[in-house]
């Protein structure tokens, strides 16, 4: 497959998942949904991605690379790290994040991807592991409390929870 065809196919697949993410939760989207929307063969999808999780991971990795931020920012100010990524995304990406805010599978793939990126260069750094644990705890608490806080809107509050290790009453 020529480079141009690979690029075009990946673009079609990424556009298909974006459209689907605006329509329904990530956990309900199947590879069949993606290939039907992209008008490609299932085997073609698997030439480019292992599964739908790999697709999201590659898109997010690209977004982080384009945002030109340091993974060390995650260790010291994780919620500002996420906000920087969001500020550097398109309007469609922001709509997708808002639409997917209640889908646990979507949150898990995002956190797992960030963990992979951060740990790639900081695997022996205990602070990185503890940061990830605290962020996961805060996001789980937020989920249990009806998604009270949004990274895009409430970054100062979330960062304060991280720093003080106290949840608001």
- Higher-pLDDT residue of 37, 125: 37
DSSP 28: G
Helix (H) or strand (E) holding 84: helix 78-87
pLDDT at residue 1, as a whole number: 60
pTM listed for this prediction: 0.82
Return the structure tokens found at 90.
């398109």
Q: Are 38 and 15 in contact (CB under 8 A)?
A: yes
pLDDT at residue 122, as a whole number: 66
Where do we find the tokens 């639409």?
A: 99
Answer whether residue 137 shows pLDDT above 70: yes
pLDDT one-digit tens code per residue, 62-101? 887 777 677 778 888 999 988 888 888 888 888 998 899 8
> Which value, in Å, is the radius of gyration of the alpha carbons in the chain?
17
């Amino acid at each position: 497959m020529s480079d141009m065809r690979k690029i075009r196919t990946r673009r079609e697949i990424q556009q298909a998942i974006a459209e689907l993410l605006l329509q329904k939760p990530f956990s309900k989207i199947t590879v069949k949904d993606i290939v039907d929307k992209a008008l490609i063969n299932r085997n073609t999808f698997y030439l480019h991605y292992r599964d739908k999780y790999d697709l999201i991971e590659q898109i997010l990795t690209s977004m982080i690379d384009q945002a030109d931020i340091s993974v060390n920012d995650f260790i010291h100010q994780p919620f500002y790290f996420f906000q920087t990524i969001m500020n550097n995304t398109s309007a469609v990406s922001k709509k997708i994040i808002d639409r997917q805010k209640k889908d646990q599978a979507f949150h898990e793939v995002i956190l797992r991807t960030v963990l992979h990126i951060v740990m790639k260069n900081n695997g022996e750094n205990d602070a990185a592991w503890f940061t990830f644990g605290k962020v996961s705890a805060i996001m789980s608490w937020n989920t249990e409390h009806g998604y009270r806080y949004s990274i895009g809107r409430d970054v100062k509050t979330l960062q304060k929870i991280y720093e003080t290790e106290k949840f608001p009453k």
